[in-house]
Amino acid sequence: MMRNGIELLVRRISGVPQYSISSSFHIIPQFCSSSSSSASPSSKLFIGGLSWSVDEQSLKDAFSSFGEVVQVRIAYDKGSGRSKGFGFVDFAEEDNALSAKDAMDGKGLLGRPLRISFALERVRGGPVVVPRFWKSKRDRE
């Protein structure tokens, strides 16, 4: 159902005719991929569920046993300066990221279970696609 909503939005943005449903998916494949869970393996991991007390060094220490960690970033709130509860760990090798994801997903760090997935590439300048979860009047007909 969500995929159909994305198809309609892509068609409206790009002007793809109504009858060519499959052709709309080559326009912005990052939004219309068939995989539903996480992105394909890469060397960068998204780490969710971080405790507010976790800093870059403690996050690097927790993941460095899986391989060379190139970069660690934690998102902070600009107003309060407190952690937003998520961050990114970038490994030198894709295999190291995969083994870290498999080993650490769901495990606790400073009292909070981690949610780990492969980070999606940030798309700059592309269209913003917001999926609709309801059927429009046009879809119901």
C-alpha 64/C-alpha 96 separation (Å) is 9
The CA angle 88-92-94, to the nearest 5 degrees, is 80
pLDDT tens digits in sequence order for the chain, 141 residues long: 455 555 555 555 555 444 444 433 443 444 433 333 445 578 999 999 999 889 999 999 999 999 999 999 999 999 998 999 999 999 999 999 999 999 999 999 888 999 999 988 776 666 665 555 555 566 555
User: Which has the closest alpha carbon to 2: 48, 36, 41?
Assistant: 36
What's at 62, amino acid-wise? A
Domain ranges of the chain: 1-34, 44-118
CA dist 21 and 8 (Å) reads 9
Rounded to two decimals, the pTM is: 0.60
The token pair at 41 is 């393996």
Please name the fold of domain 44-118. Alpha-Beta Plaits (3.30.70)
User: ∠ CA(48), CA(52), CA(55), 5° rounding?
Assistant: 85
